[in-house]
Chains A and B, each alone.
Chain A
Amino acid sequence: MPAIRYEAPRSVADAVRLMHADPRARVLAGGTDLLVQFRAGTRTPTAFIDIKRIPELVSISISKQGLRLGAATPAAVICEHAELRRLWPGLVEAVHLIGSTQIQGRGTVGGNLCNASPAADTTCSLIVNRATCVIAGMNAERIVSAEEFCVGPGRTVLRHGEFLVEIRIPRPAPRTADAYLRLIPRSEMDIAVAGAAVAVTLDAQGTCTAARVAIGAVGPTAMLVPAAAGALVGSRLDADALERAAEAASAAAKPIDDKRGTVEYRRTIAGVLTRRAAAIAAQRAKER
């Protein structure tokens, strides 16, 4: 076996050069997916490019424009950030669901996105919050929306030499809030059977003026469901509107049968979670 290298670049430019020079190099953030895959032999990188020594990769900044989240910021740091929790409670609840205290100390949102599991908890929340992904590469930085970032199980839009450096989320409009729910067969630390994130914006009278709905673990990637959002917009988020959103989410779901659940069950649950997450997001938006 040729020697595997470990590199800890101090800048994005250095990391890009290292990634470009070696097609089989892999970015190491929290390592909670990559090092497990490496030990199992399912990934055989020639180099680990540890991006955590690049200061902006491990940072949180919130301005009038919104959030800039370094891709390698660990979950525990995100969950401890009071302003982030206040502005995006649904995103933080999705982050908080991933793994144990130990995993939270290592795992990152950037890694959750790049691992591209259809059941990744944070992806739906990123999508409903209109997150964009800043990708560094040899030529120029490019920006891809969260809903376009994953293209299939384990596959992303990242090309040779590129890596995810930052996630940007615009600041929520007034009376806007999000929520995320997933179903797992036990109370903690499992992979979603289905998940749903909802973000809603209300006007002063309580009518929904904008909505985003995304569902996870019910297709090859987390998906935006415009029809479910359409059922919410213009309504007062009453039971009837929530039910129509649930039906739209179930109709959009394209799950598979596996050990976590059947097609039929997942389809139903995607709707139930959409309805409940919409109700939570609506309540949060009213309180703002």
Chain B
Amino acid sequence: MSKLHIEAVINGETREFLCDAHETLLSALRNGVGLTGTKEGCATGDCGACSVIFDGRLVPSCLVLAPEAQGRTITTVEGLAPSGEGAVLHPLQQKFLEHAALQCGICTPGFVVAAKALLDANPSPTEEQARYWLAGNLCRCTGYDKIIRAVLDAAEEMSGAVGAPTL
């Protein structure tokens, strides 16, 4: 079977990959592009582990076909912080660490990317808004409270709020 040649802007860089017509974007990112930060959880769009930002929209990459990415712009968890020596984490990533908002880590890239999409759309979400937005991301070990606290703390830091109420 001949492969399709796809070109997309992934984490700010033009990347090319080969894929099957029925391959998922999740599979192409992991196996074709080598970006294994995006995880497969349920593979049916229920768990959020494979979340990526696709032309500005948060989507489950398990329910996107890889060839749909032609000419599109994609952000994965690898695109949140610069890499290399001296690079600093994205505030969301830093706050997940500080709040211990992960245990096994399989859901974490999806949560971080979904939270990034939330803060892109709404830089100062309420706790209720954050909980609703992240309701499609499932975590089976940490529980959700630390994750929500990390997201709200990151929002506060990123918006440079001073004297905002603490949780």
Q: CB distance B136 to A6 under 8 Å?
A: no
Stretch at the interface among A83-91, A98-106, A218-226, A279-287: A98-106
Chain B contacts for A101, CB-based, 8 A: 58, 114, 117-118, 133-136
Chain A-chain B contacts (Cβ-Cβ < 8 Å), number: 84
Q: CA A8 – CA B67 in complex, angstroms? A: 9
Q: CB distance A48 to B136 under 8 Å?
A: no
Q: CB distance A100 to B136 under 8 Å?
A: yes
Given contacts A38-B22, A101-B58, A105-B58, contact A31 B64 (CB under 8 A): yes
Closest to A38 in B: B22
Chain A contacts for B59, CB-based, 8 A: 102, 105-106
Contact of B136 (CB < 8 Å), options: A3, A35, A52, A103: A103
Q: CA A47 – CA B118 in complex, angstroms? A: 34
Q: Does B87 contact A (CB under 8 A)?
A: no
Given contacts A99-B136, A102-B60, A106-B63, contact A36 B45 (CB under 8 A): yes
Q: Does B1 contact A (CB under 8 A)?
A: yes
Q: CA A48 – CA B58 in complex, angstroms? A: 22
Beta-carbon contacts of B39-71 to A below 8 Å, as 1s and 0s? Answer: 000011110100100100111101111011010
Beta-carbon contacts of A4-18 to B below 8 Å, as 1s and 0s? Answer: 111010000000000
Q: CA A212 – CA B79 in complex, angstroms? A: 49
Q: CA A52 – CA B71 in complex, angstroms? A: 13
B44 to chain A, nearest CB (A): 5
A280 to chain B, nearest CB (A): 20
Q: CA A36 – CA B63 in complex, angstroms? A: 7
Q: Does A28 contact B (CB under 8 A)?
A: yes
Q: CB distance B24 to A35 under 8 Å?
A: yes
- Which residue, of B2, B22, B58, has the highest number of chain A Cβ atoms within 10 A? B22
Q: Does B21 contact A (CB under 8 A)?
A: yes
Closest to A50 in B: B68
The number of chain B residues with a CB under 8 A from chain A is 34
Given contacts A3-B21, A8-B70, contact A28 B136 (CB under 8 A): no
Given contacts A48-B21, A100-B135, contact A105 B45 (CB under 8 A): no
Which B residues have a C-beta under 8 Å from some C-beta of A? Answer: 1-2, 4, 20-22, 24, 43-46, 48, 51, 54, 57-60, 62-65, 67-68, 70, 114, 117-118, 132-137
Q: Which 4 A-B pairs have the closest CB atoms?
A: A100-B136, A6-B21, A105-B57, A102-B60
Which A residues have a C-beta under 8 Å from some C-beta of B? Answer: 3-6, 8, 28, 30-32, 35-36, 38-39, 47-48, 50, 52, 74, 76, 99-103, 105-106, 188-189
User: Can you name 26 A-B pairs with beta carbons within 8 Å?
Assistant: A3-B21, A4-B20, A6-B67, A31-B64, A32-B63, A35-B62, A35-B63, A35-B65, A36-B63, A50-B65, A50-B67, A99-B136, A100-B136, A101-B114, A101-B117, A101-B133, A101-B136, A102-B51, A102-B114, A102-B136, A105-B57, A105-B59, A106-B59, A106-B63, A189-B135, A189-B136
